[in-house]
Structure 1
Amino acid sequence: MGLLKKLRIKTQILIAVTCIMVIMLAIIYSLYSQTSKIVIKNNNQYSEDTIRKFRLGISQKVDEISQIMLNLGYDPTVQKFMVQNDPSLSYEMAKELDRKIISLKAGRKGFEDIVLIGTNGTRYSLNGGIDYVQQLEKEIQDSSTVYVSGFEEFSYSNNLLTSMVFAQNMYSNNMNDGTDGIKIGYIAVIANVASMYFDNETSSTQPGVGFYMIDRYGEVFPDAHSPDIARSISALSNNPDNRQRLTDYVGGVKGAVQIQKLDQIQASVLSFVPEEALLAELASVRTRSILIVILALVLMALPFAMIVNNILHPIQILVRFINSIKSGDIRDLKKNLQLEGNVEMTVVAEKLNGMLGEINVLTHKLVETTTHLLEAEIEKEKAASAYLRSQINPHFLYNTLESIKGVALEVGVHKIVDMTKALGKLFHYSIKGSGYVTLEQELNAVKSYVFLQLIRFEGRFDVTYDFTKEALSVPVMKMILQPIVENAVFHGLEPKETKGMLTISGGIADDDTLVLRITDDGTGVDGQKLADIQSLLLNEASSTNHNGSYLTEKGSIGILNVHNRLRLAFGSAYGLKFESALGQGTCITLSMPRDFILPGGDFHA
């Protein structure tokens, strides 16, 4: 701090401006960081919900496929077809199967083909998928439950589709030939992965963004457009350490990640959104904020430069003028100092010009005297000049002015940070959230307001708070206490010549009524005004437009507004009660029910 005082005024001002800019940029960066975390968290919650729906849809599809295979597997026609060795009968039964399976597929999205393969060589396919299924025959036959393949390429209608095969072994049933329970083949369903599992909500046209399925072999669907992305997605799905992480890297790009196992189809689903895509708009806001700060500083530069010039330029002229006097040239004493700018510097110039004028007059008188004296008188003139120089030393004037400048630089305001914090809390509270808050939240806002008033009135009054724990949890209308406290400070305590006391208390009465009291020992009101106020508060059609009433006369319309809000919300049995005595103080009592239905239908009890 001592080093800062010794710097030039211009340097100190530049340091102050730089600090302000750094603080503003730090605030913008902090807000950006906090908002980025919130955006990523909300995206992960959305992704988690979407994955939950995705898993539910897959479960329904798998159950539907299992039911189809079960129904067909035990269908008498299918059973007979699977063990039929007569080609002509097989042909006729195949046509019957066509009608049955086409009817079964109708309205079901993603079912590309249903294949039947018997142990006796019988084959059936609706859309030519027999060769495709037979590639998996050994794995199907070895499976004791429903078999699910990985991602396979299936060519249908000249289109190459990514599909999965669901298959189940078939056993004879009710054949009436003593062969029940004998394995007669298997049934397979070819499912189109894209049309069955993915819809508009889980698809994405941006590379690397969206939802991906990873089969048990590490294959990724849909195509990730990059081998690096595919390898990253596959690695993440097989790494249990990443399951609970909110962010990770895919193909070298950091983003929000969600991974869930799909046990029914032996696969995983992964959602990935790059942070760049998530925070694109936020980054734009940050850039605009920085540009606004820079623009604001540029716009402030002109008036700021004018103010600095009005301070520094007169001081520089004064320093140069005093240095010229210090040089000892007597002709400089005839000059007048012209300083334009602030009032203080003008006064300094006037006083210094007056002093220099007196010195100039004395000097002329001394010169006139020395022309009429002899050498003795000349010696006397030198002695007088030396005496005058010892009395009025220009170096002394310079040092005195430097001392005045140093004192002026030490003046500062130290409470503005605390007041800004309190005012910021009160403003934030007044514009954010719903119309109802807990009494504890309302009380915190009142404490911020009272803090500002305590700084303003510099110990003119004390304040005490007395609330029960039960009362602090009751919901109340927002900004319902502050107007009453403001009334107590400005109309009760401010006019009081001695130190006052403000008491704010609250509790639950025996009839489950929330009762709040704001009491001051201020000036109070006389009997006639008290009667007018009480009559106005009792009036069913209360209005803020009553000429001559205390409420409008004193600028306390806020009290009547609070009273009307309570009566409109809870009925005429609730509201404000105004008690006062001239010279003794005022007590305003607020009452409202403890239990009531909040806006939106929620009942508070």
Structure 2
Amino acid sequence: MNAFGRLSIRTQVLLIGALIVAIIPFVIVRVYQQSSATVISQNTEYNTELVSILKQRVSANYANVSALMMNLGYDATLQKFLLEPDKLKQYDLSQKVESLMSIARNTNQDILDIVAVGRTGSYTSLAGRTQRIRELMATAGGDGTVHYRGYSPPDKVLDKGKLLFGMNIFASGDTQFYGEKIGYILVVLDIQSIHSAFEGYPRLAGTNFFMMDDKGVIYANGGDWERMLDNMGIGDEGDENQAAEAGKAAVRKIGGKKYAVQTFALPEISGKIVTAVPIHNLMKELERLRKTSYWLLAVTLLVVSIPYAMLMVNILRPLTRLMRFMKRLKGGNLEVLHDKVDLKGYAEIEVISSEFNTMMGRINDLTGQLVDATSKLYQVDLEKQRAEYAYLQSQINPHFLSNTLDSIKGIAIVKGNQDIFEMTTALSSMLRYSIKGKDEVSLADELKIAEACVKIHQGRFPGRLTFKLVCPEELQDIPVPRMIVQPIVENALGHGLEPRGRGGVLLICASENADGRLEIAVEDNGVGIEPDRLALLTASLASRNAEASGHIGVRNVHNRLWLKYGEPCGVRLESEPGRGTKVVLTLTGRRADANDTRSGDEAV
């Protein structure tokens, strides 16, 4: 809610309007969907009841056929017929068996034929069909139960569709072949009774019924049933997953039309029944509801647009003008302070307009006063700068001091005082170096100034300091910031070597590290730094605190290197009390620059 409150009024109005416009179609769609689902559900229940009756019919036929086959298969007369090797006796027994078969067929008008075949070659049939039964007998299993053996289309002998049920016959009674398979019996059932049952029940126009076994379709009331089954995803071999979902309707698109499809399992024939009802036929009664919903949506949009237009005219448009005026004011144009904003709309908007104009007038007055005060302060500051500049002009000119040192050098040469000459030369070099305008110099020039600083110290304390400088020739031309080594050398001389006295050693060494960065190490064997003090100084360098006291030169050098080159450049301290101090300056070197350049190219 807080996030919504921070949105602009325009956005809030748009969101509320969009929500209202979205809710009404959603409700309409949900009502229509619920109504459609109810209609489909009612049709689904009707089809479920219809198919349940048909399944009962199939189950009853299967049960009757199974009982008949059991009675015939284990009848003593049929058993003797199947085991009799004598042809003449077979003929007499076949007459009796056919009489039994005729009586059994009369009990069930759907039976078209009953065929029995013995292992000795004896056979009998009411309709004279023996070739088919011999094929089925060869593929029969080893048990003695009734099995569905498939569907047979109309042929020359029987112009009817047929369902075949077969059973192995095993010897029973007092015989030497007891328990052995002695023959096979087949019952041919007319499928027309099932067709009549399908057609005898009322159903919606356009409803398609399909009955299938595990090998294909055995009944379809539609002409183009193969295309429909392919579009439904049910092939001639069936779909066991759909059969498992018996009774559940699924909406599918077939030939550009939607159908409510149901699947029911028929375990007696290893198949299923599929029904497909056109959704369009079911939805005819809902067309009026859909048209009413469209009109309701149009009216809702009209009703929402009217208050939105009023809000735009009376609230949003004046606020938009106010925001534009404020943006002009924010741009720094002081002339806007003299303008007035005129807002027309609701009473509250006009009050805002009046108060805002009053505030603008007050700001204009305060701005004029601020400008006058600022002008006076600027004049005072300008006079102060002029006074400071005049004071600086009155100081000793550094160039005059440098020329004076050159004169002292000349007098030292005339007098033959070599020490004064060398100290004056070193001081003059440092002075000229410090007043140069360039920010970068070569490493060789920077090290020369550091060496000049050492010479001055050696002149002050003769015989107390040994100095060594190591810098490979290939590193001498590398540009480095000016005055970064001299402060470190001065700290080493003043804080490390002077307290030690005699025997001091100062080493300056320039090299490249493994990363190709230039490192300048200033190492002495002075008094060193206590661990606590070293930790504080290291922490101060890490924090880059420019206002911390103590070792200002080291901190200044560290900050300059870090600002110029970034991490990991800067100053690193290593020290042990009584054993000296090592200060390492890390800069960007030649190889590091090349690596950075290559990395940048690869990134691009």
> Given the two structures, how large is their TM-score scaled by the length of structure 2?
0.40
> Given the two structures, how large is their TM-score scaled by the length of structure 1?
0.40
**Max Rg structure:** 2
